[in-house]
Structure 1
Amino acid sequence: MKTILIKNGYVVTVNGKREIHDGGSVAIRGKTISGVYAAADTPRDADFDDVIDAKGCLVIPGLINLHQHHWYAMFKGIADGMLLEDWISDLVFPLVSNLSDDAMRLASYQCGIEMLTTGTTTSFNHSVSVTTAETVKAIVEPQAELGIRQVFGKELRCRNARFLNHPLTLDESLVAVEEDIRNWDGKADGLIRMGMVIEANAHWTSSGMSTEELIIRGTELARKLGVKISSHIAGGTFSVEKGFLKHLRETGRTDVRYLMQLGVLDHQWMLIHGIHCTELDLEHMAHVGAGLVYTPTSEAVRGGGIAPAANALRAGVATALGTDGAMVDYTNDMLEQVKACVLFQHQRHLDPTRMSFERGIEMATINGAEVLGLADELGSLEAGKLADIAIFDMRAPHVGSLQRPLSAFVGAGKGSDARFVIVNGDVVYRHGEFTKFKDRERVLQEVETLAASVIDKAGLRHRRDVSWEQKCPPLAWSGRGGSRRDPDRDLDKLAR
């Protein structure tokens, strides 16, 4: 059984005592952590097959990304300036109808590559498309090949009187979901886990794409199989013509209240975004044990608002972090989410004490494991837990002086500072190279070509060809060459 020693690192355990060992070490035997040590107690190099010198590096539990959509990674950069509701109707729907299983497979490689290179070891992949058994295979196999841990949330949808295009009835869909979950859960040496996606927010239910019967029976199946349920809730803009506020005014209930009225909300549920959750919603979630997943940069880039993450934690809601899809905010970097979480919560409350960097790290590690129901296996550096570990170089010039290493690195470091990533006890990323996968350049080139083709087929070429002037009309002060424009002439031009 292979053994690995990580030594001389700044080891942030996130264990129950929140111990930090400067110059500490982590020992790995097989798939699990066999010991975590202070500097003085570091074992001998000779007792290990592989020794990683982490001097000047941050050693933390692998980051857990609890909300992402893998195929969005293919379409970065085309969504500038769009509200969430328009983004869904004008981008997501046209693109998804042109995605093949081959596209899903390539996108899964790309997304897994991006996450591993920035220190993420586990993600929840929330399906927003209709997937067959072949599609699920195309999605889950590539990331297992890379060596990253993925929980795939299989969508539950069905044909009904208002959603006629789905190929399956509710009974048939429930059977298909159960087959996919039983077929894949625990495969690839535990790297593949399964969950469910049951959309229960106002947008989905009012459109007819989700029904009360689907939500109730889907929850019953998830409880039977012991898997987590992911659902977008309380997101979007406050437009009175569309989105969350429109449905709130029509129905008089929030998304969380709806799930409580149906009697389904419990610890199985992971509620995503929650931008417009009320204090009563948070109390309900805490009472039944439902988790909240905050995706700060996604919500900001669409102008949706700032979710009440600090209030959720204070109310006793298990609150974790995710990146959302990279077609939303163009990133799969979980360290960016940690920093954004801290800054945005301070801005929301006008209080620089509401969210510490340490709390942000908890949300990206042990809290994520708690929400997934895997805290006995993941989320902290402790003997007996799976060896999912990220090691970041803190010596880069952009990090600077390490007077308080964790705050300095989270505030100034980047996910790309990852030097080693270990999953299931295997070093899957070492100094910029993948140890299990050698086709990174080919995959990225093929994704580039395929994404352009899909965009064109979806009738969205205009989203690629937006000019600087269209996105940034000239102002009275041009900022070009130090010369001043004639403001009256510019205003006349804009008026025309």
Structure 2
Amino acid sequence: MPPKTCSTILLRNGLLATYSKGDDPLSVPATRRVDVLIEDDRIVDVAEPNSLKLPQYYFVIDCSNKWIAPGFVDTHRHVWMSVVNDQEDWTLSEYLCKLSWTTAALVTAEDVYLGQLAGCLQAIHGGTTTVVDHFHCANSVDHIEQAIRATDESGLRSMFCIARQSLPTSIDPLEFDDDEEVSKMQMDTIVRLSSRDKGRLTADGRVTLGMAYDVQGINSAEDTRIVSLVRSLGVRPITAHYVGGPQAPAYSKKVRAWSEAGLLKDDVIFSHGSGLMHKRCDPDEWKLLKDAGASIASTPEDELGMGHGNPVAYEAVRRGVKAGLGIDSASITSAEMFPAMRFALQWERGRMHEALAKDDQAARYNSLTAASAFRLATLGGAEVAGRSSDIGSIEAGKLADIVLYNAESINLAHCHDPFKGIVFHATAADVEWVIINGEIVKREGNLVRKNWEEVADALRRSIRAVQERVAQYDLDERYAAAMKFKRDRAEDGVEASD
């Protein structure tokens, strides 16, 4: 480890894979051998090997057999959900009833702490350095504070977006009788936290305050009041779900609704965005997004499996709308961003091949490259999060959020192109070093800040406790009641959110 008095790290002679602001999203940037100099929390230089003037004291990492890349920016993840499990086979409707409307009410603040800590460490282990965390377990002030505590302790960079939503007081009929009280608690907490060093929730600025808002359209005056308030406090981003596939065919036109309410701005992230390509979609919503500078966060792995609708990340890129990727939840899909890149790219390639096949044609070449998926997970994600001036690429002046891949690993030794290797072949096992904010948080394959075995042991105990509480409910009975409500809402043109 570097000595505690040493604030300078030199990454020597690594193969650099990164996009920069001037690169077209569908281009393939050249790779090159570089030295990267880090001082405190910043990248201060990226230069030809052995060309830098070095300070007297620095810690060297020999990268001659490593790839240097920016950390992944996950634009939609419910980090706390590592404390719940067995959701991999669920549809979106099952998730809404069994998790959002049942299990989430039974999770204690201590459960949230352990799920959040484990979820952050899972992200780091897989090379994710930043998350837009849609925290929809804001059941109490203590739940919120424990999630922030865990995020801080992990070392992960986070835009911690507190959800403005309540839990049902009844499933049949579905009622939210204490929503006004819960809303006051959540908004008072957001106001209080926003005054903590202008929304910087940790001393080093890694964790910042955002908001998740999925109740838009229920009370227009309240929408305007809340969104205007958080913007006046400098809270950003504001993220909201927008699905529209077979599990949520309500055709609510959420982008247009936000626009017509005067709320659509460049700080808004729509998770999934599948309603933009669903039957009866409104094609003009794409222009509204682009003109406002709003973004799409696609989670292709669970979108395809749970019935959210088909992934729209590449359609967003074509239309000039900012787009990034995410995993959504480790209780449903991989905790790593590698499958997200593969699903996004291969789904889009498959869609293009299928369209040609309908006319008895075939593509001579794949027009979308592996590198384009890498960009979605790095600089594209930073653009979505509103942080591309600070993160998402390896450039002088940016924050030092860097991943070093073992280019001689079992998975990667046969690859000479790091873009292809990272997108198609890498796993968390190939992520050898992770640096966040200039701090080494994974070293030679091992997490630095926490002992994973101890975290995992406590996590398993917490998971068992949650399962025992859930066992008192007949989830299928509650699901049947929720499906009836869902059908009624669909007839009224109201969309479900997860």
TM-score by length of 2: 0.82
Match of 1:90 among 98, 123, 129: 98
SS at match of 1:41: coil
Residues in 1 aligned to 2:36 and 2:378: alpha-carbon distance in whole angstroms: 17
Aligned to 2:266: 267
Match of 2:18 among 8, 13, 28: 13
Match of 2:130 among 101, 118, 122: 122
User: RCO (CA 8 Å, sep 6+): is it higher in 1 or 2?
Assistant: 2
8 Å Cα contact 2:101/2:167 also seen in 1:
no
After superposition, give the CA deviation of every residue in 1:139-196 in whole Å (9 maximum; x if it has no partner). Answer: 0112222211111101223799952123627566533321133337222311111100
Residues in 1 aligned to 2:47 and 2:382: alpha-carbon distance in whole angstroms: 23
- Pair 1:218-2:236 in alignment: no
Aligned to 1:280: 284
Once the two structures are superposed, the pairs formed by residues 179-328 of structure 1 within 5 Å of their partners are 179-183=192-196, 185-186=199-200, 187-200=202-215, 210-226=218-234, 227-235=236-244, 237-238=245-246, 243-245=247-249, 247-248=250-251, 253-278=252-277, 279-328=283-332
8 Å Cα contact 1:21/1:39 also seen in 2:
no
Q: Decide which moves more: 219-228 or 291-300.
A: 219-228
8 Å Cα contact 1:148/1:423 also seen in 2:
yes
Once the two structures are superposed, the pairs formed by residues 71-470 of structure 1 within 5 Å of their partners are 71-76=80-85, 78-157=86-165, 163-166=176-179, 168=181, 173-183=186-196, 185-186=199-200, 187-200=202-215, 210-226=218-234, 227-235=236-244, 237-238=245-246, 243-245=247-249, 247-248=250-251, 253-278=252-277, 279-329=283-333, 331-350=334-353, 353=366, 355-437=368-450, 439-459=451-471
Q: Compared with structure 1, are the counterparts of its residues 359 and 21 closer, same or farther at alpha carbon in structure 2 (3 Å cutoff)?
A: closer
Residues in 1 aligned to 2:368 and 2:258: alpha-carbon distance in whole angstroms: 29
SS at match of 1:64: strand
TM-score by length of 1: 0.83
Q: Compared with structure 1, are the counterparts of its residues 436 and 113 closer, same or farther at alpha carbon in structure 2 (3 Å cutoff)?
A: same
Aligned to 1:492: none
Aligned to 1:64: 73
SS at match of 2:394: coil
Larger Rg: 1
Residues in 2 aligned to 1:87 and 1:429: alpha-carbon distance in whole angstroms: 33
Structure 1 residue runs without a partner (length 5+): 464-496
Structure 2 residue runs without a partner (length 5+): 1-5, 24-28, 169-173, 278-282, 354-362, 476-498
Residues in 2 aligned to 1:306 and 1:31: alpha-carbon distance in whole angstroms: 38
Q: Tell me the CA shift for residue 42 of structure 1.
A: 5.1
Letter in 1 for 2:464: A
Q: Decide which moves more: 307-316 or 394-403.
A: 394-403
Residues in 2 aligned to 1:215 and 1:461: alpha-carbon distance in whole angstroms: 33
Q: What is the aligned-residue RMSD (CA, Å)?
A: 2.5
Q: Aligned pair count?
A: 442
SS at match of 1:272: strand
Residues in 1 aligned to 2:215 and 2:320: alpha-carbon distance in whole angstroms: 22
Q: Tell me the CA shift for residue 67 of structure 1.
A: 0.8
Q: Quick one: percent identity of the two aligned structures?
A: 22
SS at match of 1:151: strand
Residues in 1 aligned to 2:406 and 2:53: alpha-carbon distance in whole angstroms: 22
Letter in 2 for 1:332: A
Aligned to 1:477: none
Residues in 2 aligned to 1:347 and 1:293: alpha-carbon distance in whole angstroms: 20
Residues in 2 aligned to 1:363 and 1:159: alpha-carbon distance in whole angstroms: 33
SS at match of 1:178: helix
After superposition, give the CA deviation of every residue in 1:218-263 in whole Å (9 maximum; x if it has no partner). Answer: 221232122210000124x42xxxx531x33xxxx41222212212
Residues in 2 aligned to 1:102 and 1:151: alpha-carbon distance in whole angstroms: 21
